[in-house]
């Protein structure tokens, strides 16, 4: 018989402890709310344990391995270089563990009660948690749903973890793939393609849409395709996988190419990265009559659902599905719950980063999107080859592109590909959030020699004034 523990009442319950959930709990505790968090698996959620963070650790290993193999380019000699995939994975898991423990510490520090188990809404302001200790009923005036999302399976070839992988399997591979098929070229697909290519696998990428990283600016997509082909990847765009079968020794795939031909090919492993499915099943949304669109919970600019006292943030809501968007929403929702007046959510000010080699980063509108919305645009591009620091680093491939409203001087979008651009994009994001115009960027002094100077030149280029090309 299930043990029923006493009802527990809180000011706020957060369902899910990913970057959105745990930050919401911390901010709520800071504002004096009695807070509980409910988690079924790992504190820190997917991002920290099985996503953003451990992939960066893997990619760092691959990057250093790549530099060691090209030591001669820097006047250095490195001999008998090899990679130990098990040790690389072990380091990555260590990083994830350290951060998960960090979240546990923060929960303790802020006196947030953690309930481990499966949470389910049973009535407005009521949540049932099934855990190892039995069933508990928690109550709160406000509940935030932060249950995230999971990888979408190919309907005809669900991941088996042996030959057909999702990101979770790709993070702890049972063996090193020799010949890898990556299906989907969004951030996750392209990061794993980049990692395994640098680690020595043969890699083929299949993208259904007409270009790689389809959410990025078309110039970035074209540059990336060129760079990856130069690295030796096989790329199919405007193509689909019609059949995928695991065998004892590998995977057979039928790929329908752009011209309608169907090619059969053999691979050792396949990674499926075709998007996400929100975790909205079995959490009681139907009981409360919560409105959703294509499975994702509908929210307003303050992250409210249609049910009073129920809020939703992160990947379980509308795109962009990024950890920092979830964190931002967590602050908005909690401050609104605490009676504050936070700024509404503006997706145009959320940067996106992809950590392949070369790195990609962007914020705001692509050039095509800006024109489609009726803006008269001024766009300019500055190549990394015109930047002293990029040449000194031996990383002169890439560019910075900016798009401005010709009438008002508003920065509409910035798009970068090249070394360390994921760290640079924040400069444009601050400018965009602060509503700076072209004169502000032009009048800013950028330190020399740095890669950030390409950002200055990228603005100058949009106004026909670049200095170093």
Query: Mean pLDDT by 10-residue block, N- to C-terminus, for the chain (469 residues)?
Result: 62 97 98 97 92 95 97 96 96 96 97 97 96 92 97 95 96 96 97 98 98 98 98 98 95 97 97 97 96 96 97 97 97 97 92 97 98 98 98 98 98 98 98 97 98 98 95
DSSP run (H or E) holding 38: strand 35-39
Q: List the one residue out of 428, 426, 420 whose CA is nearest residue 60.
A: 420
- Cis peptide leading into 133, omega within 30 of 0? no
Residue 96, both tokens: 């994830």
Return the CATH fold of 358-462: Enolase-like; domain 1 (3.30.390)
Which residues of the chain are in CATH 3.30.390.30 domains? 358-462
Active site residues: 448
Predicted local confidence at residue 443, as pLDDT = 97
Handedness of CA 78, 83, 87, 90 (dihedral sign): positive
Strands 149-151 and 134-145: unpaired
CA distances from 437 to 313, 349, 407, 409 (A): 31, 15, 11, 5
Predicted local confidence at residue 2, as pLDDT = 44
Strands 292-293 and 164-165: unpaired
Residue 438, both tokens: 């072209």
Domain 164-274 has CATH 3.50.50.60: yes
Which DSSP string do the residues of 407-460 spell out, in sequence order? TT-BEEEEEEEETTHHHHHHHHHHHHHTT-BHHHHHTSPPPSSSTTHHHHHHHH
**Where are the strands (E) in 251-383, listed by range?**
251-256, 262-267, 269-272, 276-278, 292-293, 296-297, 310-312, 352-354, 359-364, 377-383
Domain spanning 8-150+277-347: which superfamily?
FAD/NAD(P)-binding domain (3.50.50.60)
Which residues of the chain are in CATH 3.50.50.60 domains? 8-150+277-347, 164-274
Residue 274 in contact with residue 152, Cβ under 8 Å? yes
Give me the phi and psi of 173, to 5 degrees please.
Answer: -65, 140
Residue 188 in contact with residue 207, Cβ under 8 Å? no
CA distances from 76 to 68, 79, 81, 221, 390 (A): 9, 10, 13, 33, 19
Is the pTM value of this prediction over 0.85?
yes
Q: How many Å apart are CA 183 and CA 41, to the nearest integer?
A: 27
Give me the phi and psi of 245, to 5 degrees please.
Answer: -130, 130
């Amino acid at each position: 018989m299930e043990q029923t523990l006493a009802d527990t009442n809180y000011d706020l319950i957060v369902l899910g402890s990913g970057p959105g959930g745990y930050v919401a709990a911390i901010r709520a505790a800071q504002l004096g709310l009695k807070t509980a968090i409910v988690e079924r698996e790992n504190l820190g959620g997917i991002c920290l344990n099985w996503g953003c963070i451990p992939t960066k650790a893997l990619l760092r290993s691959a990057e250093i391995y790549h530099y060691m193999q090209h030591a001669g380019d820097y006047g250095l000699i490195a001999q008998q270089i090899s990679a130990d995939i098990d040790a690389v994975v072990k380091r990555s898991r260590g990083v994830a563990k350290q951060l998960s423990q960090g979240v546990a510490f923060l929960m303790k520090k802020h006196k947030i009660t953690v309930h481990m188990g499966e949470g389910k809404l049973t009535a407005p302001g009521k949540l049932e948690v099934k855990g190892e200790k039995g069933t508990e009923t928690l109550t709160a005036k406000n509940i935030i749903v932060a249950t995230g999302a999971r990888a979408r399976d190919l309907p005809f070839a669900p991941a088996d973890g042996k030959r057909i992988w999702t990101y979770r399997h790709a993070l702890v591979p049972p063996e090193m793939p020799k010949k890898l098929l990556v299906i989907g070229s969004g951030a996750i697909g392209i990061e794993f393609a980049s990692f395994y290519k640098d680690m020595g696998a043969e890699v083929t990428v299949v993208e259904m849409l007409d270009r790689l990283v389809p959410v990025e600016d078309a110039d970035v997509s074209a540059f990336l395709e060129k760079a990856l082909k130069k690295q030796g990847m096989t790329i199919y765009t405007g193509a689909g996988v019609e059949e995928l079968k695991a065998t004892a020794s590998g995977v057979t795939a039928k790929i329908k190419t752009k011209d309608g031909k169907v090619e059969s090919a053999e691979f050792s492993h396949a990674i499926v990265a075709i998007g996400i499915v929100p975790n909205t099943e079995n959490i009681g949304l139907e009981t409360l009559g919560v409105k959703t669109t294509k499975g994702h919970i509908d929210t307003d600019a303050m992250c409210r659902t249609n049910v009073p006292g129920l809020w939703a943030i992160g990947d379980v809501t509308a795109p962009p599905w990024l950890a920092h968007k979830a964190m931002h929403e967590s602050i908005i929702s909690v401050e609104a719950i605490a009676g504050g007046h936070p700024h509404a959510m503006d997706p145009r000010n959320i940067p996106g980063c992809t950590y392949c080699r070369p790195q990609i980063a962007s914020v705001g509108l692509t050039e095509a999107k800006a024109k489609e919305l009726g803006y008269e645009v001024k766009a300019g591009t500055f190549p990394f080859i015109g930047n002293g620091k990029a040449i000194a680093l031996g990383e002169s491939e890439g560019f910075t592109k900016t798009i401005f409203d010709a009438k008002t001087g508003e920065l509409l979008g910035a798009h970068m590909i090249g070394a360390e651009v994921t760290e640079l994009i924040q400069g444009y994001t601050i400018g965009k959030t602060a509503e700076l115009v072209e004169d502000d960027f032009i009048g800013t002094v950028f330190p020399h020699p740095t890669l950030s100077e390409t950002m200055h030149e990228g603005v100058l280029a949009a106004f026909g004034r670049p200095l170093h090309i």
